[in-house]
Protein backbone atom coordinates (compact mmCIF):
# COMPACT_ATOMS: atom_id res chain seq x y z
CA UNK A 1 0.00 0.00 0.00
CA UNK A 2 1.49 3.32 -1.06
CA UNK A 3 1.65 5.86 1.71
CA UNK A 4 0.01 9.12 0.81
CA UNK A 5 1.05 12.46 2.21
CA UNK A 6 -0.96 15.48 3.16
CA UNK A 7 0.56 18.86 3.71
CA UNK A 8 0.82 19.73 7.42
CA UNK A 9 -0.41 16.32 8.59
CA UNK A 10 1.00 12.88 9.29
CA UNK A 11 -0.54 9.45 9.29
CA UNK A 12 -0.65 7.23 12.36
CA UNK A 13 0.98 3.85 11.65
CA UNK A 14 -1.44 2.01 14.00
CA UNK A 15 -4.87 3.26 13.02
CA UNK A 16 -3.89 5.05 9.79
CA UNK A 17 -5.76 8.18 10.86
CA UNK A 18 -4.45 11.56 9.72
CA UNK A 19 -3.15 13.72 12.56
CA UNK A 20 -3.04 17.49 12.20
CA UNK A 21 0.32 19.16 12.67
CA UNK A 22 3.63 17.68 11.71
CA UNK A 23 4.91 18.15 15.27
CA UNK A 24 2.13 16.20 16.99
CA UNK A 25 3.42 13.96 19.77
CA UNK A 26 0.59 11.38 19.87
CA UNK A 27 -2.37 10.21 17.84
CA UNK A 28 -5.63 11.50 19.40
CA UNK A 29 -7.59 8.50 18.11
CA UNK A 30 -5.50 5.51 19.27
CA UNK A 31 -2.88 7.15 21.50
CA UNK A 32 0.14 6.01 19.45
CA UNK A 33 3.15 8.13 20.39
CA UNK A 34 5.20 9.46 17.50
CA UNK A 35 8.91 9.27 18.18
CA UNK A 36 11.23 11.22 15.90
CA UNK A 37 14.39 9.76 17.45
CA UNK A 38 15.64 6.24 16.89
CA UNK A 39 15.76 3.93 19.88
CA UNK A 40 19.32 3.41 21.15
CA UNK A 41 20.85 -0.03 20.86
CA UNK A 42 20.40 -2.28 23.90
CA UNK A 43 23.10 -1.97 26.53
CA UNK A 44 24.14 -5.59 26.07
CA UNK A 45 24.95 -4.93 22.41
CA UNK A 46 27.08 -1.89 23.13
CA UNK A 47 30.62 -2.28 24.36
CA UNK A 48 30.83 -0.58 27.72
CA UNK A 49 34.22 0.37 29.07
CA UNK A 50 34.23 1.39 32.70
CA UNK A 51 36.51 4.35 33.24
CA UNK A 52 38.02 4.83 36.67
CA UNK A 53 36.40 7.75 38.41
CA UNK A 54 38.71 10.60 39.22
CA UNK A 55 38.00 12.46 42.43
CA UNK A 56 36.06 15.61 41.65
CA UNK A 57 37.86 18.80 42.56
CA UNK A 58 36.40 22.28 42.32
CA UNK A 59 37.93 24.62 39.77
CA UNK A 60 38.64 27.25 42.42
CA UNK A 61 41.06 25.12 44.45
CA UNK A 62 44.80 25.63 44.13
CA UNK A 63 47.11 22.64 44.32
CA UNK A 64 50.65 22.46 45.69
CA UNK A 65 51.91 21.56 42.20
CA UNK A 66 50.39 24.76 40.78
CA UNK A 67 52.01 26.87 43.51
CA UNK A 68 55.38 25.25 42.84
CA UNK A 69 55.06 25.83 39.10
CA UNK A 70 54.19 29.52 39.54
CA UNK A 71 57.02 30.10 42.03
CA UNK A 72 59.46 28.44 39.60
CA UNK A 73 58.18 30.69 36.81
CA UNK A 74 58.64 33.79 39.00
CA UNK A 75 62.24 32.79 39.73
CA UNK A 76 62.97 31.96 36.08
CA UNK A 77 61.48 35.16 34.68
CA UNK A 78 63.26 37.45 37.11
CA UNK A 79 60.66 38.38 39.72
CA UNK A 80 57.05 39.39 40.02
CA UNK A 81 57.46 42.61 38.01
CA UNK A 82 58.82 40.73 34.99
CA UNK A 83 56.10 38.10 35.24
CA UNK A 84 53.42 40.83 35.31
CA UNK A 85 55.02 42.37 32.20
CA UNK A 86 54.90 38.99 30.47
CA UNK A 87 51.23 38.49 31.37
CA UNK A 88 50.44 41.99 30.12
CA UNK A 89 52.23 41.23 26.84
CA UNK A 90 50.27 37.99 26.42
CA UNK A 91 47.03 39.89 26.99
CA UNK A 92 48.10 42.65 24.56
CA UNK A 93 49.00 40.15 21.82
CA UNK A 94 45.58 38.55 22.00
CA UNK A 95 45.84 35.57 24.28
CA UNK A 96 48.02 32.63 25.11
CA UNK A 97 47.37 30.76 21.84
CA UNK A 98 48.47 33.72 19.71
CA UNK A 99 51.47 34.29 21.95
CA UNK A 100 52.49 30.64 21.56
CA UNK A 101 52.06 30.82 17.77
CA UNK A 102 54.24 33.96 17.65
CA UNK A 103 56.93 32.28 19.75
CA UNK A 104 56.95 29.26 17.45
CA UNK A 105 57.17 31.49 14.38
CA UNK A 106 60.08 33.42 15.88
CA UNK A 107 61.82 30.19 16.90
CA UNK A 108 61.91 29.03 13.27
CA UNK A 109 63.80 32.15 12.21
CA UNK A 110 66.39 31.78 14.98
CA UNK A 111 69.70 30.44 13.75
CA UNK A 112 71.26 27.51 15.61
CA UNK A 113 74.57 28.15 17.36
CA UNK A 114 77.58 27.57 15.10
CA UNK A 115 79.93 24.96 16.56
CA UNK A 116 83.63 25.84 16.36
List Cβ neighbours of 29 (8 Å cut-off, separation of 6 or more).
12, 15, 17
Q: Distance (Å, rounded) from C-alpha 75 to C-alpha 33?
A: 67
Assess whether pLDDT exceeds 70 at residue 39.
Answer: no
Percent of the chain exceeding pLDDT 70 equals 72
Lowest pLDDT segment from 27-31, 56-60, 107-111: 56-60
* Confidence label for 10 from pLDDT (cuts 50, 70 and 90): confident
* Nearest to 35, CA basis, from 5, 10, 6: 10
Amino acid sequence: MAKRTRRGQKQCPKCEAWVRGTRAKACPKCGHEFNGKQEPAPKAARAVVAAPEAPAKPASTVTIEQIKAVSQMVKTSGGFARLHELLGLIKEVGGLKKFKDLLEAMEVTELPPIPF
